[in-house]
Structure 1
Amino acid sequence: MSARDGVVLIGLNGFGRQHLINIERLVAAGKMELLAGVDFSDPGPDVRGAQTPVFSSLAEVAAAGIRPDIVIVSTPISTHHPIALEALELGADLYLEKPPTATLAQYHELLAAAEAAGARVQVGFQSIGSHALPHIADLLSPTDGSGPLGTLRAVGASGTWVRTRGYYQRAPWAGHRVLNGVEVVDGVATNPLAHAVQTALHIGGATGSEDVVRLDTELHHAHPIEADDTTTLSIGTAAGLDITCALTVCAGESADPWITIYGTEGQAVFYYTRDELVITPNADSPSAGAGEQRQSFGRTNLLENLIDVRAGAATELLSPLSSAGGFMRVLEAIRTADDPAQIPREHVFWEGEGDDEHPVIPHIEDLIDRAVKGGTTFSSLRAPWAKRPETSGELTVCGTARPVTVAELRTGADISPTNGPRPFLDQVRTLSGVVLTDQQPLDHPWHLGVSVAVQDVDGINFWGGRTYTRDAGRYVWRADHGRIVTTSQSVVTDAHDDGTSGQRWRAALDWVGPDGSVALQERRQVSTRHRGDGWELDIEFELSPAGESDVVLGSPGSNGRAGGGYGGYFWRLPELKNARVFTAEAEGEDAVHGTVSEWLAVTADFSSTAGHPLTGTTAEPATGSGRGPSTLIFISADDDPWFVRQSGYPGIGASLAWDAPVTASAEAPVRRRIRTLILDGVLPPAEIAERVAALSGAPVSTH
């Protein structure tokens, strides 16, 4: 090796021009010399340098007697594998642009060839050179959780970029999965936002192909292309970590992509394009006093790192070929997946003109935020252009006309393990179609429509999220999450004497702990019935021990958190305007929360666009758009206090264990029933009291 490494750059145009700028810097620093360029189209001496010879192939370079120390491959993805093998035969080390190859088989072949040749191969994931990455590792403690962020529990990659028609017309291979029989594998996760995926994998410790044990893809495109441009990736690692990537090039405007590092004691957001890190401890974590911290870092250039390793000035490559195995597993899953689903034009805006025209998916930023925070997918979030989530069917009511769908029975199988997977009612709505539920919201991704869940079942968390413990005196992340699964079910239609009809969903459910054992067995019945200008939702459930021993059901409230007695029945509302919450005796969140009353009402304008991704598109109907004024009347004969949230987030529950635990035994199962009247329009308290009286057949008071 000479004092200055001789470099051949293959690909002088496109991203190759960025390499030429970097090469000029390294030549000036005395670290290398550019021996030759290879390209079918010579960009001219002003770009590649007057003294740089240009060849049309690497074979021509070799025939000219040039023996490079390093070959940079900056060519289309489909050409990486053959060119890299050819360079290895010349005895050169490699700087290989991302992704390293077009298939996983090619990757393993190239990895074996590099090892056999004793060659160094650096892959051009530039973000891996960021000095923020070792700092992030220092913030996390893999075992004892003593770092400022505690122990790493999840990683998310978010990308909201804009790409125009011209972007996909810049090269014949752009936007293709396969071109003329050759694997191209272009796409949002494998090309423009590939750095986001690789950075998330790196932070999550999933660099080798064996580190990825689960991988699910949802691929979509709004552009008229073959490849994906809007995608979610759900990745499970051998270490038990979940990595979620939600990416698009169809945003309203481009934003710097970011990686979210979720620790047990806080989170950090890494803006990898500008090497900036924002650290936010949990409000109740030991490091909360430090507050939010924003730090900027430098970056080691990966070509310079390769040169320094060759010279002995650095000990190891920062982005070696061996560390791209996890990424190649992702690429292979995308390559072999079904073709991306075209997002229908009615769900897309187009902005700009000519080559600058580009599609905009309404609310895609919100969907991406929710997907990453909840470790979920576009379909689970009910994006209108995604496939439907797994359901057990729909619930309907029928007056004198046709049946009206008023709710969906979601199985919950697509919910993240730490968010308490369980069956729930989604898209509960009035007869006119006003949607009254939210699910997987940003503030609490474990809030799922209308559901039954308990945070403490003999120490198992079936609610999701952090667990409040008396010993810690605060919420802590624990590996204690269970799931509720349906073991049998049936749906029947009930015809009533007044000519109306409703439906009844009967189910048996197992409450399964993290070790796979069943803690509780539940019998549940969900009924619907037409009620004049509205309808009634009637939910009954019975909880019994699965074994011979009694089971204790608790809540944060019973474990020491004053006013935190949620658990049992819970209804997550969407964002509200002009909301009122009241009982016959009191009004307002503070006055009603924790009280016992026969009924509780919520009236509001359900006009938020959150959870309504059709808003503003041509697919939004003139009426029945899912928004409007509505009234909910919750009726209970049990003595459970009402759990009310209005200011922080909107939700209503009936607290099963408000400030003391409840025991379920074989002789005395825990039984509860909540009936809810669901009406269009805002009803005054006096009329609500009359409705309750008519329904129950007994007089009630009003205020």
Structure 2
Amino acid sequence: MTTQHSTESSHQRPGSTATPRIALVGVHGFGERHLANLARLEAAGALELVAVADPLPPQAGTLAESVAVFPDLEALLAAQPGADVVILATPIQTHAPLALAALDAGMDVYVEKPPVASLAQFEQVLAAARANGRLVQVGFQSLGSHALPAIRAKVAAGEIGTVLGISATGQWLRTKAYFKRSRWAGKRSLDGTDVVDGVATNALAHAVATGLSLAGAHTLADVASVETDLYRANDTESDDTSVLRVRTAGGDTLLCALTLCASEQQDPTVTVHGTRGDITLFYTRDEVVISTPDGERRETYGRTDLLENLLDARATGAPLLGALPHTGAFTAVLEAIRTSPAPAPIDPASISWEGDGDDAHPVVQGISDMMGRAIKAQATFAELGAPWARALPPVRTLAVDGRPVADYQDGSHIRAVSSPRPYLHPVRTLGGTVVTDHMPLDHVWHLGVGVALQDVDGVNFWGGRTYTREAGQYIWRPDHGSISVSTSHLSDAGSGHEGRLQETLTWNGPDGSPVLGEERTWTWSAVAPSIWRLSLDFALSPAGDTPVSLGSPGSNGRFEGGYGGFFWRLPGCGDAAVWTPAGSGEAATHGSVTRWLAWSGKFDGGPATLVFVAPEGCTDPWFVRMDGYPGVGQSLAWDRRVMAEPGNPARRHITVLVADGILATTDIEALINQQGDPS
């Protein structure tokens, strides 16, 4: 994270002692707060309010008789009341034209957020400010918080370790009346003019701006990319439930998860996530919460008023806290939203309405949990597979007799510290019941069905923290690798035929250099009207001419923590049962070596059974989790390392029978006997 301030020395007029004369355009709505602040500062002798402009004049007695009242800025400027600074508290689409007029008239400008409605307008206003030698302050009040430099100092001092990412989250609720308050509310454009109202650009714009500030993104050049995932529950044009993922030029990621469709209003936050803990700013009240292994502490900070800051900049040359050039990063986000496809409507089946008439407001079901997952995984709603989100297009679809049974993802959208890699999700029964999960809140690096290892010559291809023998615990390390596909060939499963996906993959270290090469083959076919078969073969070879060790937390000293190799993350299910020919339950099956292991339960789509079948003579123990989370793996390195040697790769095979309904042990034995040795 970096700190930047305005250094436009040509705009500064240090040494001025005259009392600044202020004009306010827009006296209703947020303009009423400006009136109150102006009265406070005028009473302190800091300024003089000389004029206001609004088509609807303020009530009689609201202003001193010396304050001139005009219907609009044009009339105000024509009357030349001698104002030095104009405050614009007007609709979004008017900000740019009004700011341009005020700047050309030789006035400094305080404009409410968002400063403009497009990147083109931003550049026009910026050019006018420079040409006229004027200051433009943008009303992102949270940027005046003294908590921001304090947080930067804490991060720089290493209080939370290495920064993993920054998040901004806001869960608000807005009624139907909110979107009826003006013609432009909830609009992307009005009468052919950009408005770009929305949860991120207006209602919770401070969350985005504050997050960008802590991510070190101020100017346009500070933003490398912006990804948008926009939705609406209300009957509007603009988004009310969205994820934005901003990657900065400095390498940080800011994930904004925002909604106006929460079940209850919560204070919005911006959090810096680190390897040793988090620092969270409740920016509406300037409260900071620092959470580390040493405990939690809270600190409250003051705030510099942005109008006072603007007056100080005029008088002394002090830097502007909300200088227009340093809202370029925010404008990049706004422009990405403006040019994105229209927000997708959320399925009414996923919305519940609370209240009556204009007081009614929508609640997106499960939105709080989904936002928590988005923040932790740095993922969009589409990537998480929210039931109401756009479907994330699979790289490939596996089908049995024309019925899709699994989507294949290449993992390119996965955050770096989750060890990006190919995986299958969702995997379905022939009846359509989903039997995998991915990026769950408890372990966001769990990705459906695939191959992952936590220690490949010291590189983590599993994701998350790494367990080391030296530390005797899980710790964050900059050791995450990624798995990419080099070549791929798909043969579809036609009627009565086996489908096959053959791949060559490269396991790359944190620096991008190859560590392993892999030959992987998925095969799938129908077994019975309600059962299909998925098999995986993979062989791991050194990328170079020296052996590579394959390890796990178990091989590094964690008791019975030998996960790694094949892994299947299940979704939560009712009446879950796990058993082998030798016993049932997690305690009896975890670490056991048996021919097969079965898992059954009542999933969201209905009852289903998964039967994991090892080849004859396989000695790899089963890895089983039920209490903490539902998952099954075939451990490649249970309590000792396995070597992949040149010319002698580490090979593994497993077959999974995916069945609708609950199978009994006799059914399982009959199926396995019918299938023969899966190897």
Q: Aligned with 1:189: secondary structure? A: helix
- Tell me the CA shift for residue 662 of structure 1: 1.8
Is the Cα–Cα contact under 8 Å of residues 454 and 462 in structure 1 kept in the other structure? Answer: yes
Is the Cα–Cα contact under 8 Å of residues 17 and 315 in structure 2 kept in the other structure? Answer: no
Mean CA deviation greater in 258-267 or 626-635:
626-635
Mean CA deviation greater in 484-493 or 446-455:
484-493
Distance in structure 1 (CA, Å) of the matches to 2:261 and 2:353: 10
Correspondence 1:67 to 2:82: yes
Distance in structure 2 (CA, Å) of the matches to 1:543 and 1:49: 81
Matched with 1:234 is 245
- Tell me the CA shift for residue 555 of structure 1: 2.1
Correspondence 1:647 to 2:591: no
Matched with 1:623 is none
For 1:525, the aligned partner's letter is: T
Q: Aligned with 2:384: secondary structure? A: coil
Mean CA deviation greater in 51-60 or 430-439:
51-60
Is the Cα–Cα contact under 8 Å of residues 539 and 652 in structure 2 kept in the other structure? Answer: yes
Q: Deviations over 1:460-516 (max 9, x none)?
A: 322222233344443333333222222333333456xxx855532222222233333
* 1:22-41 mapped onto 2 (5 Å cutoff): 22-41=37-56
Is the Cα–Cα contact under 8 Å of residues 129 and 318 in structure 1 kept in the other structure? Answer: yes
Is the Cα–Cα contact under 8 Å of residues 573 and 601 in structure 2 kept in the other structure? Answer: yes
Is the Cα–Cα contact under 8 Å of residues 175 and 359 in structure 2 kept in the other structure? Answer: yes
Q: Deviations over 1:158-216 (max 9, x none)?
A: 22222233222222222222222222222221111111111110111011111101221
**CA separation of 1:642 and 1:294: change in aligned 2, threshold 3 A:** farther
Given candidates 1, 10, 18, the residue that maps to 2:33 is: 18
* 1:250-329 mapped onto 2 (5 Å cutoff): 250-281=261-292, 288=293, 290-312=294-316, 315-329=318-332
Q: Aligned with 1:448: secondary structure? A: coil
Q: How many residues align?
A: 660
**CA separation of 1:456 and 1:69: change in aligned 2, threshold 3 A:** same
Correspondence 1:163 to 2:174: yes
Distance in structure 2 (CA, Å) of the matches to 1:634 and 1:578: 19
Correspondence 1:503 to 2:502: no
Distance in structure 2 (CA, Å) of the matches to 1:543 and 1:61: 75
For 1:329, the aligned partner's letter is: A
For 1:183, the aligned partner's letter is: D
**CA separation of 1:488 and 1:15: change in aligned 2, threshold 3 A:** same
* 1:360-399 mapped onto 2 (5 Å cutoff): 360-398=363-401
Given candidates 652, 670, 673, the residue that maps to 2:650 is: 670
Matched with 2:102 is 87
- Tell me the CA shift for residue 687 of structure 1: 5.2
- Tell me the CA shift for residue 37 of structure 1: 0.7
Matched with 1:125 is 140
* 1:592-611 mapped onto 2 (5 Å cutoff): 592-606=589-603
Mean CA deviation greater in 181-190 or 554-563:
554-563
Q: Deviations over 1:267-294 (max 9, x none)?
A: 133222232333222xxxxxx1x32233
Distance in structure 1 (CA, Å) of the matches to 2:153 and 2:386: 37
- Tell me the CA shift for residue 329 of structure 1: 0.9
Q: Deviations over 1:357-414 (max 9, x none)?
A: 333322222222211211111111122343321313322334xxxx433222222222
**CA separation of 1:653 and 1:683: change in aligned 2, threshold 3 A:** same
Matched with 1:621 is none
* 1:572-583 mapped onto 2 (5 Å cutoff): 572-583=569-580
Distance in structure 2 (CA, Å) of the matches to 1:416 and 1:362: 26
Is the Cα–Cα contact under 8 Å of residues 600 and 634 in structure 1 kept in the other structure? Answer: yes
For 2:613, the aligned partner's letter is: I
Mean CA deviation greater in 12-21 or 430-439:
430-439
- Tell me the CA shift for residue 326 of structure 1: 0.7
For 2:648, the aligned partner's letter is: A
Q: Deviations over 1:299-354 (max 9, x none)?
A: 32222232344444x94322222221111111111122233333344443444433
Distance in structure 2 (CA, Å) of the matches to 1:297 and 1:576: 46
Distance in structure 1 (CA, Å) of the matches to 2:541 and 2:34: 66
- Tell me the CA shift for residue 97 of structure 1: 0.8
* 1:138-537 mapped onto 2 (5 Å cutoff): 138-141=153-156, 147-281=158-292, 288=293, 290-312=294-316, 315-398=318-401, 403-494=402-493, 500-532=496-528, 533-537=530-534
Q: Deviations over 1:404-453 (max 9, x none)?
A: 33222222222222222222111222333332211111111111111111
- Tell me the CA shift for residue 11 of structure 1: 0.8
Is the Cα–Cα contact under 8 Å of residues 400 and 493 in structure 2 kept in the other structure? Answer: no
Matched with 1:658 is 638
- Tell me the CA shift for residue 78 of structure 1: 1.9
Distance in structure 2 (CA, Å) of the matches to 1:490 and 1:414: 22
Q: Aligned with 1:647: secondary structure? A: coil
Correspondence 1:627 to 2:602: no
**CA separation of 1:409 and 1:62: change in aligned 2, threshold 3 A:** closer
- Tell me the CA shift for residue 570 of structure 1: 0.8
Distance in structure 2 (CA, Å) of the matches to 1:336 and 1:420: 31
Is the Cα–Cα contact under 8 Å of residues 104 and 128 in structure 2 kept in the other structure? Answer: no
Matched with 2:6 is none
Correspondence 1:56 to 2:52: no
Q: Aligned with 2:34: secondary structure? A: helix
Distance in structure 2 (CA, Å) of the matches to 1:102 and 1:494: 51
For 1:160, the aligned partner's letter is: Q
For 1:514, the aligned partner's letter is: P
Q: Deviations over 1:523-576 (max 9, x none)?
A: 222222333342322111112223333322222232333333221111111123
Is the Cα–Cα contact under 8 Å of residues 398 and 492 in structure 2 kept in the other structure? Answer: no
Distance in structure 1 (CA, Å) of the matches to 2:335 and 2:328: 10
Correspondence 1:43 to 2:55: no
- Tell me the CA shift for residue 240 of structure 1: 0.8
TM-score with structure 1 setting the length: 0.88
* 1:675-690 mapped onto 2 (5 Å cutoff): 675-685=655-665, 688-689=668-669
Matched with 1:619 is none
Correspondence 1:111 to 2:122: no
- Tell me the CA shift for residue 66 of structure 1: 1.8
TM-score with structure 2 setting the length: 0.91
Q: Aligned with 2:376: secondary structure? A: helix
Q: Aligned with 2:151: secondary structure? A: helix
For 1:540, the aligned partner's letter is: D
What are structure 1's unaligned runs of at least 5 residues?
282-287, 607-625, 699-703
**Superposition RMSD in Å:** 2.5
Distance in structure 2 (CA, Å) of the matches to 1:640 and 1:691: 22
For 2:533, the aligned partner's letter is: E
Distance in structure 2 (CA, Å) of the matches to 1:166 and 1:522: 58
**CA separation of 1:682 and 1:557: change in aligned 2, threshold 3 A:** same
Is the Cα–Cα contact under 8 Å of residues 390 and 411 in structure 1 kept in the other structure? Answer: no
Distance in structure 2 (CA, Å) of the matches to 1:113 and 1:311: 21
Is the Cα–Cα contact under 8 Å of residues 12 and 48 in structure 1 kept in the other structure? Answer: no
Q: Aligned with 1:45: secondary structure? A: coil
Matched with 2:7 is none
For 2:172, the aligned partner's letter is: W
Percent sequence identity over matched residues? 49
Distance in structure 1 (CA, Å) of the matches to 2:571 and 2:498: 25
For 2:207, the aligned partner's letter is: A
